Amino acid sequence: MSVLFLTMLFQRGSARGQSVLMAVCKWLGTLAPTILFGVIFAFDIYVILLGIVCSVFDILYIVVLAKWKEGPLVHA
């Protein structure tokens, strides 16, 4: 899902309908279950690794979206 948000941003060429706040909430929505089910309830390395990978793409999406809001990254 995290990769798809990045793909959507680049394919549409516009950040219309997307916000940095939404991106941060999406990341927190990934981070919370990762901590809860990967660390607190039981130590599960698979959940932790999957959460880390998703978090990397979520953070990348936040950074790219924030830069995009300043102005398009690709100039025609």
pLDDT tens digits, 17-69: 899 999 999 999 999 999 999 999 999 999 999 999 999 999 999 999 999 88
H or E segment to which residue 2 belongs: helix 2-12
Q: What is the C-alpha to C-alpha distance for residues 34 and 51, in angstroms, rounded to an integer? A: 5
Contact 30, 54 (CB under 8 A): yes
pTM of the model: 0.84
> Quick one: pLDDT at residue 61?
96
Return the H-helix or E-strand segment holding 45: helix 45-70
What local confidence, expressed as pLDDT, does residue 14 receive? 84
Rounded distance, CA 8 to CA 52, Å?
21
